[in-house]
Amino acid sequence: MTERTLILVKPDGVRRGLSGEVLRRVEAKGYALVAVELRTATPELLAEHYAEHLGKPFYDPLVEFMLSGPVLAAVAEGERVIEGFRSLSGATDPTTAAPGTIRGDLARAWDAPVIHNIVHGSDSVASAEREIGLWFPGL
Ligand code: DAT
Ligand code: MG
């Protein structure tokens, strides 16, 4: 089924100049970019985006990290792209994310209270619809 997913290159990825590398991998895999925009998040947007993590020990550091610089927000489209981009991203913990994945190739553990892992990708059809609506209300 053709789907859309929300992709964020997080502030660590933008700072390190990896936005193009992430988009390159998405396009090389065969997904189409529907929207791409460099944005600065707001506390209100992140409170909605990360609502599922409210109350967890890493929640405040996560929001602070996501506000630490611009993010590249993108929407990609394709057959099973939600699952496909999660597969391209690799596991949440970049130390053990498989080589060949974005996180496995490009990130490692940092001495920080929150994991820095370069990208966000929606994890289900419901999350993708919700997150695209938050970041790109015009789509
Ligand atoms: P993912 O981004 O792989 O979907 P998630 O939704 O569980 O992972 O968590 C959102 C982000 O929060 C994740 O990309 C990095 C950070 N994070 C998750 N679990 C963490 C933990 N145990 N300690 C520190 N940061 C964490
Ligand atoms: Mg998640």
> What is the pTM (predicted TM-score) of this model?
0.98
Going from the Cα of 47 to the center of ligand 1, the distance in angstroms, rounded, reads 15
* Whether 22 contacts 119, CB under 8 Å: yes
What is the tens place of the pLDDT at every residue in 25-77?
Answer: 999 999 999 999 999 999 999 999 999 999 999 999 999 999 999 999 999 99
**Catalytic center residues:** 120
Q: 24 pLDDT band (50/70/90 cuts)?
A: very high
Residue 62 CB less than 6 A away from ligand 1: yes
Distance 16 CA to ligand 1 centre (A): 20
- The CA-based dihedral angle spanning residues 62, 68, 70, 75, taken in that order and rounded to the nearest 10 degrees: 0
Average pLDDT over the chain reads 98
Q: For residue range 1-13, what is the model confidence (pLDDT) as tens digits? A: 899 999 999 999 9
SS3 at position 115: coil
Ligand 1 pocket, 116 CB below 6 A?
A: no
